[in-house]
Amino acid sequence: MSPEYIQVVVEQAEGSAEPAFTLVSAVTDAGPVGFLTMILLVLFSVASWGIILLKFVAVRKAEQQSVQFLDVFWQSKRLDDIYGQSEALAQSPLAQVFRAGYQELLKVKKREKDEAAAGHHLDGAENIERSLRRASSSEMTELERLIPFLATVGSTAPFIGLFGTVVGIINAFSDIAKFKSASLTTVAPGIAEALVATAAGLLAAIPAVIAFNYFGNRIKVIGAEMENFSADFMNIVRRHFF
């Protein structure tokens, strides 16, 4: 067998070779419905990771500044000094709860002086408690902002991926009917589209579910700390002002 003949055979084989399968080709060669499904899952995944990074930084700052605020609160002997130092701890939920309670305390004492009515002491304490509850609720709302989106992605992304899987299988059977062949070359594009859609759905859902549970637990701890601080603050207020 001459070298020239071997070279011709190799060139013919290379020219007739099918293009190699890649993950990108599985996405780009998918049908319109499958392509849109995978694009939607990619957008969900990108949005989820953006929220994860954003909330991680926010919750971490809230925890760190809350620790700093508690040190200031228990080491200081004057509420006005604590109020002044709390301005630099804007990311601390405990600091914001304290500021709301202290501002209401000032309003109550001013109103009592203006009216010279000692019988409003109980109402004043209740007003401070309400302001603490409102501030705690507001801080919890801010901490939980965007977190429900992670739960939405975690619960819906697998079903969206399953929808893409069904579309890919339908395309595979459609190709079998079109080309009158069930060979691997015929069914491979549809099967690849189905598997990529399944993987995309899982890749979007798993981090979202993990992050949702993680942030939920950390935010619950911060909420408990705000409740405990509110009780301690009210004890101090009742002891010294009422």
Judge whether 136 lies within some domain: yes
Report the SS3 class of residue 124: helix
Judge whether 228 lies within some domain: yes
The first and second tokens of residue 20, run together, are 């190699």
Judge whether 33 lies within some domain: yes
Judge whether 97 lies within some domain: yes
Using alpha carbons, list the distances in angstroms from residue 86 to 37, 94, 119, 162, 183: 48, 9, 32, 50, 71
Is the pTM for the entire model greater than 0.85? no
Judge whether 232 lies within some domain: yes
Judge whether 86 lies within some domain: yes
Tell me how far apart the alpha carbons of residues 126 and 119 are, in angstroms, rounded to a whole number: 13
Residue 3's Cβ-count burial label (10 Å; 0-12, 13-18, 19+) is exposed
* pLDDT range class, residue 222, cuts 50, 70, 90: very high
Number of domains in the chain: 1
Judge whether 48 lies within some domain: yes
- Its domain, for residue 136, covers 24-241
Task: Give the pLDDT score at 116.
Answer: 55
Mean pLDDT of 26-41: 76
Judge whether 99 lies within some domain: yes
**pLDDT higher than threshold 80 for residue 12:** no
> Of 27-31, 125-129, 148-152, 178-182, which range is least confident?
27-31
